Structure 1
Amino acid sequence: MDFIFMLTRSDRTVEDCLELVREIAPLRLGHVGFKDVGVPLPVLERLAQAIRDAGATSYMEVVSTSPEDCLRSARIARNLGIDRLLGGTLVDETLEILAGSPTAYFPFPGRPVGHPTKLGGHAPEIEQHCRTFMRKGCAGADLLAYRATEADPLELVRAARRGLGSGLLIAAGSVTSVEKIRALDAAGADAFTIGSAVFDGSFSPTKGSTLSQLADVLAACGSEAGERRTG
């Protein structure tokens, strides 16, 4: 299972994101992302380039709440050359914006609300949404499993897995422990994101540095799970 390190805290890109890309370089992370809010566009442009220069797959997750802002973020992702755009629910409109670009789209199934985002919806709804995503040409789904307010998180993961078939299932938000990572893996997730739990030290409470937190996350999902791949 892949580990996607999000340069975010409380659903916002951290202001020192560019410094952090340099700091984490020794870990050779293969998957690095950020949110569409928190820093101005010129910083996002430099950040996308820095992730690319590091040889990692780039991710941007949409957490804006208005339709206009969500579609604006999709245009930004395309212009930045982001590899994988996560989030949002305006599937048809977003796919139209991304058409002809290499950016793959992973929308939110269910009913995401608010900021930081919570997830409403039950397993049948999640499964049906994921089937629809694949039929429309999405690459997979971005499931806010541990942000669920109406259902068991792992039931939602299993439902999304059924709906996606061979599509990629990314579990995002509130992944804060080794136990949660292992549970997501067993339920069928292909990847997970962590941001805040690294920055606030809650993933490994006895350790102080960002690099130590990240090393423990990598150990929890397999030592090569978050490293860049060759060949």
Structure 2
Amino acid sequence: MDFIFMLTRDDRTVTDCLDVVDTIADLGITHIGFKDIGVDPDTLAQLHTRLKAMGATTYLEVVSTHREQALASVRTAVELGVDWLMGGTWIEETLHVLRGTSIGYLPFAGQPLGHPTRLAGDPDRIADDCRRAEGAGCAGVDLLAYRATDADPLDLVRAARAATTGRLVVAGSITNTAQIQALASAGVDAFTIGSAAFDGSLQPHAGTLRSQLAPVVGEVVGEVGSSHAAIV
């Protein structure tokens, strides 16, 4: 299972993202991404260039719940040349924009609401959305399980895992190792952490970002047996 560290807080890319990348460069985190809100286009371009120069796999997550804004994010992903696009619910339109690129697409399963995003939908809805995404040609799904409003998070994860053979990423509001272990047991391929690292929730008595991230990297390497981590 991959650890996806979001370079975001409250669903916005942190304004000092370039400095953050320098701070965590030697932690062995090689999959890195961001969102297209919170910083200006020039900063995003600089960030992506730096990440690719580091040899990182890059991700952009769409968070807008409005069609035109979401598709604008898709076009940004294409312009930057990221490796993975996560989020959004306009599957057919998004795949049309991505046609001819090598970008893998992981749409949201369920109904995203508001900002920061919450997730509506019961396990049946999640399973249906996963099958629809896979049938349309998506590489998997992005599931906001721990932001669910209508169901137990792990019930949604199990429904998604049973419904798709693609990549299952659980994003948002993961704050402790018990959640990470539960996701690994449920067969999740990757999980994201962003705000919890920046606000100190992972290690309440530790003061640096590196101290927040170190036990998560250790959990993935030690408990799951992966040598890879991802930052989005």
Q: TM-score, normalising length from structure 1?
A: 0.95
Q: Is the 8 A contact 2:217 2:229 kept in 1?
A: no
Distance 2:185 2:127 in 1: 17
User: Do the aligned partners of 1:31 and 1:226 also contact (CA within 8 Å) in 2?
Assistant: no
Alignment of 1:60 with 2:60, yes or no, is: yes
Q: Which residue of 1 aligns with 2:133?
A: 133
Q: Secondary structure at the match of 1:222?
A: helix
Q: Displacement, 1:22?
A: 1.1
Are the structure 2 counterparts of residues 118 and 226 from structure 1 closer, same or farther at C-alpha, using a change threshold of 3 Å? farther
Alignment: residue pair count? 228
Task: Give the corresponding residue for 1:101.
Answer: 101
Question: Contact 1:27/1:227 (CA < 8 Å) preserved in 2?
Answer: no
What are the equivalent positions in structure 2 for 1:5-84 lying under 5 Å apart? 5-84=5-84
Preserved contact between residue 87 and residue 107 of structure 1 (Cα < 8 Å):
yes
RMSD of aligned C-alpha atoms? 1.4
Deviation, 1:228, is 6.5
8 Å contact kept, 2:65–2:112: no
CA 1:122–1:228 in 2, change beyond 3 Å: closer, same or farther? closer
| Runs of 5+ unmatched residues, structure 2 | none
Match of 2:185 in 1: 186
Aligned residue number for residue 225 of structure 1: 226
- Tell whether the 8 Å contact from 2:9 to 2:194 is kept in structure 1 after alignment: yes
Please give the alpha-carbon distance, in whole angstroms, between the structure 1 residues aligned to 2:164 and 2:73.
Answer: 24
Q: Which structure 1 segments of 5+ residues have no match?
A: none
Answering whether residue 148 of structure 2 is matched by residue 153 of structure 1, we say no
Q: Write the letter of the residue equivalent to 2:146.
A: Y
| Alignment partners' CA distance in 1, 2:180 and 2:129 | 24
* Distance in 2, Cα, partners of 1:158 & 1:99: 30
Q: TM-score, normalised by structure 2?
A: 0.95
Q: Percent sequence identity over matched residues?
A: 53
Residue 26 of structure 1 aligns to a residue in which SS? coil
Matched, 1:168 2:167: yes
Call closer, same or farther: CA 1:68–1:42 in 2, change over 3 Å: same
1:54 Cα deviation from its structure 2 partner: 1.5
- Asked whether the 8 Å contact 2:2–2:229 carries over to 1, the reply is no
